[in-house]
Chains A and B, each alone.
Chain A
Amino acid sequence: MPRIGVFVCHCGTNIAATVDCGGVAEAARGFPGVVHATDFTYLCAEAGQRKIQDAIAEHRLNRVVVASCSPRMHEPTFRKAVAQAGLNPYLMEMANIREHCSWVHADRQVATAKATEIIRMVVAKVARNEPLTAKQVGLTKKLLVIGGGIAGIQAALDVANAGHQVTLVERTPTIGGKMAMLDKTFPTLDCSACILTPRMVELSQHPNIELRTYAEVLSVKGFVGNFEVEILQKARKVNHLTCTGCGTCWQKCPEKNVPSEFDVGMGRRTAIYIPFPQAVPNKPVIDTANCRYVRHLAAKERGEKLMECRVCEKLCPTKSIDWEQKDEIIVDRFGAIIVANGYDTFDHSVYGEYGYGKYPDVITGLQLERLMNASGPTKGEVVRPSDGKHPHSVVFLACVGSRDDKVGRPYCSKICCMYTAKHALMLKEHDPNIQTYVFYIDIRAAGRGYEEFVRRVQEEYGSTYIRGRVSWIYPQDGKLMIKGEDTLLGRPVEVEADLVVLATGITAAKGAVDLMQTIGISYDTYGFINEMHPKLRPVETNTDGVYLAGCASGPKDIPDSVSQASAAAVKVCGLFSQDYLTTDPMTSVVDQMKCVGCFLCEEVCPFRAVERETLRGGKVVARINESVCKGCGLCVAACRGEALNLKGFTDQQLLAQVTALLRA
């Protein structure tokens, strides 16, 4: 038999001003199962809590209703209070007579009547409450980092230094990401490689870190603390255990004309290659699409003849070339995942007015970085791709693929103003006779020392900034004509340029959406990860145990990416500081007798908590993984056979509430 105690809170005058709390308590005494009802000024205060605890002992209460505020703030307070008095915390229910009643009504009589009805409903519910117990599950204290750019590197190092095992998976043959491609970094003009490569080496030598380059995540199953991940290790055709990275193979490979991904097409590489001299690991992979021997084998199969090559194999001093090496799938368990899959730059070929990406002397900012870099394809000589001559007049266009709804990119890419200013400055350092022009819409230089940097570029380095978007670029007599407008003077502008540099914006990395779906995290229209909360939980995804860092969630500069990586690392360390995880017991539960195995619940579940279980008779039914279930109730609503129920909010409880209201 339920012995229910009802406690009506005044909340100072918040409730008492509009609700007759004493009258409500009086009325509650008449509700079925209620053996004690009273009111008090502040139930959340220590004296109020004690009042509840005393009443539990005195009246042998086995159910408690606290009629006060929204459960959002004080449900944990009262659960704890009743637990201390020996009651299961889930036998306490809150009736919200503040937000739902006193705050939104003015008429005291009506508000009092409504408060009475609210309490009547909750009393009916609490009578059917069952004691619930939180469960504990173990966890694997090992982190998976997806992406080996600066964000992934930082996160991996931080967690590894805290003493946990880390596996870093990188899609390309080297870590370093976009930062490795940059020449200098704004606004301090630090050499990008000089500050990055020590971190790359530290990571590769760290005893707690397993580095998997040339690998991709295939599938993610499980839940926080217990993810099971399939990783595809692509065949490198080179045995990295024996290879010493001596460089003979890539120096002698006769296939020298493959456009280099690392140099964004500005340079060429061989078929067996490392992307750049400081690559980590400093051991090559064979690009099978371009390797002459692999092509020879394919031709042989077709019955055609093609020259056999195998130069690398013949010259390798450690016999590390392994033609038999195949793609391999590795399965591992992780307790947490940090997604740092980075970004790609906007493909400007959609802009007909800028030449559809076909004018050789219209390049992107990233391509200019490679040209300016001393270890780049031109050894740091900035030359026109068309004729190899040094440019004299260089025009920069900001916001290419940013702030442009027409190409589906209404957002600001955040870093372009700064890197364009850096480029204008660096070009002057390369050649003081260069004239630079920057067409911009606004200058967005929010960051320490950023605005000052942009001013310096204009005042000291004499870069001509022109406010307005360029409407048209066309070739004329071997040069490029740029037609724009100086919106400050309100006059059209024509600039004759030798080289045009487009500040292409940031887009989600290629394959980002596939990756998000594989992991099961939510993303926006542009393929960037949605944070759990944009302000207060910026490094968590909506899936427990999956965190984010860097441009995976939108445009960021290096300091922001690194900060976010360290923040994500702290979240992981916090998770790993526990020996087991406590789960909320208010989860869905399947009545396997009623379940027909339609798995509609599986389709609607946003957390992938529904699993399949084969019963002894061969019948396949749903089972809820309580560690994953968030208790949202979608599956309960979807279930056609009423096989699902949400603990703490069972159909019986909710119907009792409605019935109580209708009978009143």
Chain B
Amino acid sequence: MSVLKFASTDQPGRNGLLALVKAKTGQDVLACYQCGKCSAGCPLSSAMDLAPHQVLRAVQLGQRDLVFQSSAIWLCVTCQTCYTRCPQEVDLPRVMDALRSQALQEKIRPAERTVKVFHDVFLGLVERFGRLYEVGLIGGYNLLARQPLASADLGLPMLTRGKLELIPRRVKDQEQIKAIFKRAAELELEEITGQSVAAAPPASVPS
């Protein structure tokens, strides 16, 4: 088990991770007093390598590797149960989100690869069609997750009952969707570079 080390030369405020989370989310993780109520109510904590309160503890101690290599940040489904119940009002789902996005920015391999695959396929489809295309999601996810025949037995019954449409539908105004994705990419770049990317909203997007 890795030893948590603190050198006597450590500077106050050295905890970059704490500052990063604060900058990304506005959340003061030091407010967490480790009561464990978040982990007690989390529907997924049993599957996580670090329980939700331990993720916060690792942030408090500035343990980057522990946090970014954990499965917990990827398994969190942002259900908000923890935040709703937290006595110290720490927005844990927001912290999880920030940690995921930071992990991606730092190109750290997600501990749960398929979660990332799902997000990628899902967002790819939304970007393309402006809405979800189930058959594309199932197919794309199964291929990229290297499990092509997963849940295949459900395919035919769903098709015959008209639950799946083979032909994708599109939203009417594709331009708006494009503008949203463009702005999201700009915001992300802003966060990484720290400089604001001048982007007047396109005329077609109602403000």
Contacts and interface: CB of A to CB of B under 8 A. Distances in A.
A458 B30 contact: yes
A600 interface: no
Main secondary structure of the interface of B (DSSP, over half): loop
B205 to A, nearest CB: 41
Interface string B1-43: 1111111111111000000000000001011011000000000
A489 B11 contact: no
B100 interface: no
A493 B12 contact: no
B6 A437 contact: yes
B7 A459 contact: no
B137 interface: no
B190 to A, nearest CB: 28
Contact of B11 (A433, A437, A490, A495): A433
B3 A489 contact: no
A498 B8 contact: yes
A314 to B, nearest CB: 51
A656 B57 CA distance: 75
Interface residues of A, number: 26
Interface in B42-92: 50, 53-54, 57-58, 60-61, 63, 66
A496 interface: yes
Contact of B4 (A458, A494, A498): A494
A621 B158 CA distance: 108
A247 interface: no
B57 A494 contact: no
B4 A491 contact: yes
Contact of A494 (B3, B10, B12): B3
B57 A435 contact: no
A388 interface: no
A140 interface: no
Contact of B34 (A393, A433, A467, A490): A467
Residue of A393, A432, A488, A490 with most partner-chain B CB within 10 A: A488
Contacts of A493: 3-6
Contacts of B8: 392-393, 435, 479, 496-498
Given A432-B12, A433-B12, A486 B33 contact: no
Interface string A431-464: 0111101000000000000000001001100101
Contacts of B31: 455, 459
Contacts of B10: 393, 435
A211 B168 CA distance: 97
28 contacts: A393-B6, A393-B10, A433-B11, A433-B12, A435-B6, A435-B12, A455-B31, A459-B30, A459-B31, A462-B30, A467-B34, A479-B8, A488-B57, A489-B54, A489-B57, A490-B1, A490-B54, A491-B1, A491-B4, A492-B3, A492-B4, A493-B3, A496-B5, A496-B6, A496-B7, A496-B8, A497-B8, A498-B8
